[in-house]
Homo-oligomer: A and B are copies of this chain.
Amino acid sequence: MNARIREILSWYGSDSAGTRANLARMLAHGRLAGTGKLVILPVDQGFEHGPARSFAPNPPSYNPHYHFQLAIDAGCNAYAAPLGFLEAGAHQFAGEIPLILKLNNHDVLHEDKDPLPAVTGSVREALRLGCAAVGYTIYPGSLHCVRMYEQLRAIAEEAKAAGLAVVVWSYPRGSALSKEGETAMDVIAYAAQIAAQLGAHIIKVKLPSVHLELAAAKKVYEAEQIPITTLAERVKHVVQSSFDGRRIVIFSGGAKSDDKNVFDEARAIRDGGGFGSIIGRNSFQRPKAEAVTFLQTIMGIYAGDRP
């Protein structure tokens, strides 16, 4: 265990040896092992957007084994997916890649301005499947946030008691937020803070824009002249908002986009002190060999390789 991992683990001093070991498992795995950086492969789009929108651009990805192998081949730190996808491969790939069981999911077959995902897995299932962590999505801003926070409370308590790590996807959304507000600087920082206060070990948010959504917050950002002009500054503010950097915060890649963009974003995350990326569609929606190269380029950025 190198010094950086020991340092990171020191932030989680109240956690059990089991949970700390599982955090270490992810930090010590793959291409970024020992760097304190993480690139995680998440594949929940089959549930969230439907199979064709997710997998048709690269048909081998309909197969759940595909994603295990992609995460292994690319040297990701972990692979995250809902129950069905993990069940379909956890036995065969046991011990080859740390797994994160996503415990709630949401589909787009019904309308909801204030989303409420369904709990689709459990800590017991995560243990059965040999996972290192559980994942859970909250939508701060949704009218159903109380229910989500309370489910997360129970799940996190049970996960910690069982020695698992807790990864929280914190995505502001709901009838009181504008579309632009969902990625506003103040709102994303707030979302990271909420996840941290709820006891997340690893926090996952979207990259924030320069927009400020809430009037009371805007006043403070202006009065205190918090620097948020560049993406790296905004990442830095999110990291600061996550217990002054004492919680691991990673950022999502979002919809498929231009590779150069993604690499620039990774550089900004790195320069702002972020801990890495969680990259789904941008990786699995292209042929596997390309995806491996693509992911390793990102890992190289985090590892500080000369580009």
Contacts and interface: CB of A to CB of B under 8 A. Distances in A.
Contact of A88 (B14, B85, B198): B14
A51 interface: yes
Interface in A42-79: 46-47, 49-53, 56-57, 59-60, 62-65
A158 to B, nearest CB: 10
A272 to B, nearest CB: 15
Given A118-B149, A122-B157, A174-B109, A11 B46 contact: no
Interface stretch (A219-227, A263-271, A289-297): A219-227
Interface string A207-244: 00000001011001100101000000000010011011
Contact of A53 (B15, B85, B197, B220): B220
Given A62-B243, A187-B109, A198-B84, A13 B51 contact: no
B193 A50 contact: yes
B190 A221 contact: no
Interface in A134-159: 140-143, 145-146, 149-150, 153, 157
Given A109-B190, A177-B109, A51 B241 contact: yes
A63 B243 contact: yes
B224 A120 contact: no
Contacts of A149: 105, 118-120
Contact of A194 (B63, B86, B107, B157): B107
Contact of A52 (B109, B129, B226): B226
A108 interface: yes
B141 A109 contact: yes
Nearest to A11: B88
Nearest to A213: B109
A179 interface: no
Contacts of A249: none
Nearest to A177: B109
A196 interface: yes
Interface string A190-207: 111110111110000000
- 6 residue pairs, one from A and one from B, having the closest CB atoms: A13-B91, A118-B149, A84-B197, A63-B244, A51-B241, A62-B244
Interface of A: 11, 13-15, 46-47, 49-53, 56-57, 59-60, 62-65, 82-92, 105, 107-111, 114, 116-122, 124-125, 128-129, 140-143, 145-146, 149-150, 153, 157, 172, 174-177, 186-187, 189-194, 196-200, 214, 216-217, 220-221, 224, 226, 237, 240-241, 243-244, 246-247
Given A63-B246, A108-B214, 8 more contacts: A14-B87, A14-B89, A46-B193, A47-B193, A50-B189, A53-B216, A111-B176, A122-B157
7 contacts: A14-B128, A46-B193, A50-B186, A50-B189, A62-B243, A64-B244, A110-B174
